[in-house]
Structure 1
Amino acid sequence: MKFLYLVKKELLLFLRNKGLLIFVIYLFTGDIYIAANGIDLSLKHAKFYTLDYDMSYESRELISKMVPPWYNFQGYITDSKQIESYLMKDKAVGILVIPENFNENIKKNKLDLALYLNGADASTGYLFAGYTTGIITDYYLEKVKNYKNQIAKIDLRSRVLYNPNTKSKYFLALSELFSVITLLVLILPAASIIREKDEGNIEMILISPLSIRKLIAAKLLAMTIIILLGTTVSINLIIKTALHIPVRGNQALFLLLTIGYIFTTMGLSLFIASISSNMLQVSQLAILFLLPILFLSGSWTPYESMPLIFQKLTYLSPLKYYLDAGYAVIIKGLGLNFVWFYIIMMFLMGLPLFIIGTFFINKKL
């Protein structure tokens, strides 16, 4: 019963800390909403010009396929010398060059085009090239099939599962939620312990019947409750209602995953509290641990794009397992028979971290 009173005390202290309360509410609501809508990984309003040496019906028809909101056609240029000038001055993301006899070449089952890209913004240039190549390929196949005795040599069909419209906000919203949980798991327990140091309560606790271990356990349980409540509100209020992202899996299973991840990461929070003297140091050390966890999780950079040594190091990031399992539950609707492996891996990683963190905090206090 005394332990429950301690948990209640920690929750009340959190609610009375207006600054921290507003910060947590914002992270679970506004931050996730802005991250989902403020960043778009799809091509939007990309400016481009065309140098058309053919000026045929077919060449104009091809240009007409590149429509808003993905493209923003700026017009025609008349000289190849203008290409470099337009790209150097960032007037365009890309310039499409259509050669002479374009329509005749298509009738002969030939396709010869040039696409110049502005590589200053590599991600936008990559998207522009991908979208444009797809449009050109579809146009070419359509035209070839319309001519007598011509057989299309390519027949590509794609089917996107779980996110048929390939909306980037699905990934961005969930990725931001996972990052927010990681940040709060690192900061909240450590901040709660440091507050006791700042207020001089540690000395009073040492001479009271209350043990330090019970106090720390109460703080960890209270912070876990706060994070779980914030996660539940974020999923139902922001992800499902505001962003209209379908949550196909069992929310209880996702919260179970979250509990496992909190346990995995709280050991680092205890270690931060043991070597910090004030809140400023807690914040600095939390960022120091947060960045490698995020970088190695695959949330910012695809696993396949990393150097080989970093690919191996990703297995040391607890967030990697939480991400894989979380996406599987929320987006794909998979159950415990799939995610049990990730729960075990998080527990195996979390146990030594928790033991180390507990050892250092007990030694320090």
Structure 2
Amino acid sequence: MRALLIILRLGIKEIYSLARDPVLMGLIVYTFSVSVYTVADGVETELRDAAIAIVDEDDSVLSHRLRGAFLPPYFKPPVIIGIADIDEVLDSSRFTFVLDIPTKFELGVQRGRLPAIQLNVDATAMSIAGNGAGYITSIVEQEVARFMSRAEPGAAAAANLQIRVKYNPNLEAVWLNAVMEVVNNIIVMAIILSGAAVIREREHGTIEHLLVMPVTAAEIMISKIWANGLVIVIAALLSLQFVVNWGLGVPLRGSITLFAFGAAVFLFSNTALGVMLSTFARSMPQFALLAIPVIVVLQLLSGSLTPLESMPETLQWIMQLSPATHFVRFSQAVIYRDAPIILIWPELAIMFGIGCLFFAMALSRFRIAMGTR
């Protein structure tokens, strides 16, 4: 009971100290409000208002059908250009796509000659280029099939593909970006706040006061972990409710209570990592130089920005040692798919296990750096 009371009082002191730091408080508010909204609403990965030009060398009924098939909101109204202008409009970045319909294209389709139609893509905008090429391919195939079905009324499709989209029926990128931005900010702030707590004690000279008091290194560490973790969990929950759900209109299908519990388990490991990094630094600039590479790696390879399955297998195995990877899976399962705890308890167990390992390493390093027991 004495140890718990010490940890509670030290944690309350940590919260008071954080509240009196306007820079860190401003960073927390900005990170979980403005940052989440601007990134989620401003970064679009789906196709929208893409600029397309068409070279119509056929000038047939089918080519006119293709010209009229590219509609908002995916494409801007197509612009008809000459074949000699293709290189110029692509070099000047006026259009992302240029579709070249060759002469006798309709005749070749009717006679079953499988004529080629050329799509030129400006791949400097990689995400739009990849998605747009897929959209254009589908549109061309559908229009040609409809044209042939009208020309040959007896022809029928070999199969009818029915697409069912779950969890994000309109394929809105903001639904993914908003929640993943909150998750990424939890990853970042866990390291920054816990590390800054140790550096702040050292810079203000209060760490020496703690060391001469009848408290252990473990009690100091645990107090900093729970205090900073509590602040981050509260900020994340407020961000989910007011910014993601109300501001951006993203539905939160899963249990917020379960998400908060999983975030607390994750913060146990990530804040311990932040404390360990702080023991290698003597000032905030040094800590920043150590933390930034770690944060970048955790964010880029956790699966929040790109699917983990698309990474090399060796890297996938390595990232299983990162709690951020399991927290991303946990968050997506709970928030998007309303997964119950019986399905996601392995992720919680792994995060807790990694957290215990990080805590032991951080405690050992903290004792060495502070010269305490």
Return the TM-score normalized by structure 2: 0.92
Separation of aligned partners in 1, 2:316 and 2:274: 25
Matched, 1:142 2:146: yes
Of 220, 223, 239 in structure 1, the residue corresponding to residue 228 of structure 2 is 223
Separation of aligned partners in 1, 2:82 and 2:76: 19
1:50-65 aligned at under 5 Å gives the runs 50-65=54-69
Alignment CA distance shift 1:2-1:352 (3 Å)? closer
- Residue ranges of structure 1 left out of the alignment (5+ in a row): none
Counterpart for residue 97 of structure 1: 100
Count of equivalent residues: 364
Contact 1:111–1:140 (Cα < 8 Å) also in 2: no
Counterpart for residue 68 of structure 1: 72
Aligned partner letter, 1:102: F
Alignment CA distance shift 1:156-1:140 (3 Å)? farther
Matched, 1:11 2:15: yes
Matched, 1:83 2:83: no
Matched, 1:323 2:328: yes
Alignment CA distance shift 1:83-1:309 (3 Å)? same
Q: How big is each residue's C-alpha offset from its partner over 1:41-71, in whole Å with a ceiling of 9 and x where there is no partner? A: 0112211111112212332222212112221
Counterpart for residue 238 of structure 1: 243
Return the TM-score normalized by structure 1: 0.94
Q: How much has 1:207 moved relative to structure 2? A: 2.3
Counterpart for residue 299 of structure 2: 294
Separation of aligned partners in 1, 2:156 and 2:303: 42
Separation of aligned partners in 2, 1:263 and 1:25: 21
Matched, 1:256 2:261: yes
Counterpart for residue 126 of structure 1: 130
Larger mean CA deviation between 122-131 and 293-302 belongs to 293-302
Q: How much has 1:99 moved relative to structure 2? A: 2.3
Separation of aligned partners in 1, 2:39 and 2:106: 45
1:324-339 aligned at under 5 Å gives the runs 324-339=329-344
Larger mean CA deviation between 60-69 and 136-145 belongs to 136-145
Aligned partner letter, 2:192: I
Task: Please state whether the residue corresponding to 1:329 is helix, strand or coil.
Answer: helix
Contact 1:109–1:144 (Cα < 8 Å) also in 2: no
Separation of aligned partners in 1, 2:355 and 2:316: 20
Q: How much has 1:39 moved relative to structure 2? A: 0.2
- Residue ranges of structure 2 left out of the alignment (5+ in a row): none
Aligned-residue Cα RMSD (Å) equals 1.8
Q: How much has 1:274 moved relative to structure 2? A: 1.0
Counterpart for residue 369 of structure 2: 364
Alignment CA distance shift 1:14-1:272 (3 Å)? same
Question: Identical aligned pairs, as a percentage?
Answer: 26
